[in-house]
């Protein structure tokens, strides 16, 4: 006997969508959540709060990007980050209300407390006051997310040393900030704080930040961030961090150099929240860094136990986590309309400017046997781009030379994460150069960039411009 058809441990994007998917088809569902509010890191500490901070920063810098005579705006660095982004709390509360209303409509039970597997179908819930009770389900989904990685040699107990969860609770906006980590989180926060006149140093241990981004588009981003005042320190690692009497911290690097900063933000990696869940005791196979191993349906080696979201690792995005939860739920209950994650999953980076990509790069297209040709369009030649104050943006499309089909696209610039969806639809439907050439776009609009990227590709084809060799 079981109490529920599905028990979700964790109520981030994967747990929410898996539970509502199952409940929609009439299955009794329970969620076990240790926090008072739903949404996980997506709503409470990560995706939504950081993007709210980004939008506030862009609002404050609008007069600098689109100058008006006699108008000036400067951020008061004496205010706390929380006050600076007060609108975040309204957005978060609205999202909490949306999720909770959805659970109420679908009849989903929420058990507040920490969940732990007793066996392959039983979850023990420990409440905040230490009381326990057990619930049984036909299936269990682990969707507990991830947490910032905290190396032992970094003094996170000092108020000026924070991780990605703590940065939004700073007492004031600092004048100087060192950010460690050249990945998505580090670059996003570096560009956001630089936008509000914080002197940012971005430390990373590789040759390039964001190595998975198209090299040309990445250079556009790096140049834009450099113009904002970000100081990049590649191939650099932190040796020690020493708190100072005035509240600042001194950072000593492996190469012997050092720097003093008001705030050190550690954004170098995250770790899976898979500890103390009883996974090993019930035989769930684990991977490196606490990641849970799953198959294409997000099912573990224990048939009744599934896992989705950050707890299984890459790509660890809110959008992919939602889809993984839905796919897992469909597989549990034999729903065949959603059987796997689409190969056309966009990636969005909410840096300033934003970056987004879909499909194949030039190098990937070559490895897949295509004869690719590149078409580009610059924001500075697009009137809407100039209105928005973006003179560095770039749309880069990869087409197949013979069929003219669109294979992939990367965008760096204003509204990149929205514009990428047109490329997504065109690739999915087999369209390409001819579609863009024959389509009539609104004017002025950023969408028109695709038409000029298509013309650019036609010119390259006429010139016979060869593709690069596959790496």
What is the dihedral sign for C-alpha 187, 159, 170, 272? Answer: positive
Whether the per-residue pLDDT at 43 is higher than 70: the answer is no
Which of 125-134, 270-279, 346-355, 458-467 has the least mean pLDDT?
A: 458-467
pLDDT of residue 115: 96
Residue 184: name the closest of 46, 295, 277, 325 by CA.
46
Rounded to whole angstroms, the Cα distance separating 327 from 315 reads 16
**Interval 78-94: pLDDT, tens:** 666 667 666 767 787 88
Return all residues near 263 (Cβ < 8 A) that are at least 6 apart: 160, 161, 162, 167, 170, 174, 176, 177, 178, 249
Whether the per-residue pLDDT at 148 is higher than 60: the answer is yes
pLDDT of residue 471: 34
Q: Which CATH class is domain 4-148+271-332?
A: alpha beta
**Interval 171-194: pLDDT, tens:** 888 999 999 999 999 999 999 999
Rounded to whole angstroms, the Cα distance separating 416 from 388 reads 13
Residue 355: name the closest of 226, 195, 191 by CA.
191
Which token pair is 81? 């980050």
The CATH H-level superfamily of 353-463 is FAD/NAD-linked reductase, C-terminal dimerisation domain (3.30.390.30)
pLDDT of residue 291: 95
pLDDT of residue 169: 83
Using CB atoms within 10 Å of the CB of residue 429, give its burial: 0 to 12 exposed, 13 to 18 middle, 19+ buried.
Answer: exposed
**Interval 293-313: pLDDT, tens:** 999 999 999 999 999 999 999
CATH classification of 161-268 is 3.50.50.60, yes or no? yes
**Interval 4-39: pLDDT, tens:** 999 999 999 999 999 999 999 999 999 999 987 877
Average pLDDT, the chain: 91
Overall average pLDDT of the 194-198 stretch: 92
Whether the per-residue pLDDT at 76 is higher than 80: the answer is no
Q: Pinpoint the residues of the chain covered by CATH 3.30.390.30.
A: 353-463
Overall average pLDDT of the 436-452 stretch: 97
Q: Pinpoint the residues of the chain covered by CATH 3.50.50.60.
A: 4-148+271-332, 161-268
């Amino acid at each position: 006997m079981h109490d529920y058809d599905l028990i979700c441990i964790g109520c981030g994007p994967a747990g929410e969508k898996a539970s509502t998917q199952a409940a929609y088809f009439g299955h009794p569902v329970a969620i076990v959540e240790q926090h008072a509010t739903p949404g996980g890191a997506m709503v409470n500490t990560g995706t939504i709060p950081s993007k709210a901070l980004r939008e506030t920063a862009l609002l404050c810098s609008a007069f600098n990007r689109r100058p008006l005579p006699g108008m000036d705006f400067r951020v008061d660095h004496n205010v706390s980050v929380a006050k600076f982004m007060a609108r975040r709390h309204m957005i978060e509360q609205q999202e909490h209300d949306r999720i909770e209303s959805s659970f109420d409509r679908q009849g989903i039970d929420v058990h507040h407390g920490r969940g732990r597997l007793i066996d392959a179908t039983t979850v023990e819930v420990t409440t905040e006051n230490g009381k326990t009770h057990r619930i049984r389900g036909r299936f269990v989904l682990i969707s507990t997310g991830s947490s910032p990685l905290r190396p032992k040699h970094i003094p996170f107990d000092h108020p000026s040393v924070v991780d990605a969860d703590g940065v939004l609770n700073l007492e004031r906006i600092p004048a100087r900030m060192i950010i460690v980590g050249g990945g998505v989180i580090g670059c996003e926060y570096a560009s956001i704080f630089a936008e509000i006149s914080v002197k940012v140093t971005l430390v990373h241990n590789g040759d390039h930040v964001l190595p998975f981004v198209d090299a040309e588009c990445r250079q556009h981003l790096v140049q834009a961030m450099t113009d904002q005042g970000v100081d990049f320190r590649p191939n650099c690692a932190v040796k020690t961090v020493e708190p100072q009497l005035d509240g600042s911290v001194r950072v000593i690097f492996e190469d012997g150099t050092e720097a003093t900063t008001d705030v050190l933000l550690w954004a170098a990696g995250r770790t899976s929240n898979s500890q103390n869940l009883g996974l090993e005791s019930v035989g769930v196979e684990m991977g490196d860094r606490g990641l849970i191993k799953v198959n294409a349906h997000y099912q573990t080696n224990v048939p009744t136990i599934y896992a989705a979201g950050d707890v299984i690792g890459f790509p660890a995005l809110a959008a992919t986590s939602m889809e993984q939860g839905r796919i897992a739920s469909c597989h549990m209950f034999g729903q065949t309309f959603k059987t796997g994650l689409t190969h056309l999953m966009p990636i969005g980076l909410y840096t300033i400017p934003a970056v987004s990509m879909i499909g194949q790069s030039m190098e990937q297209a070559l490895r897949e046997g295509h004869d690719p040709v590149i078409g580009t369009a610059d924001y500075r030649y697009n009137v809407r781009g100039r209105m928005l104050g973006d003179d560095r943006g770039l749309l880069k499309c990869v087409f197949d030379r013979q069929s003219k089909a669109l294979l992939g696209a990367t965008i760096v610039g204003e509204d990149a994460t929205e514009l990428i969806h047109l490329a997504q639809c065109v690739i999915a439907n087999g369209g390409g150069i001819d579609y863009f050439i024959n389509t009539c776009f609104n004017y002025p609009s950023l969408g028109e960039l695709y038409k000029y990227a298509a013309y650019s590709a036609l010119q390259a084809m006429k010139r016979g411009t060869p593709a690069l060799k596959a790496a």
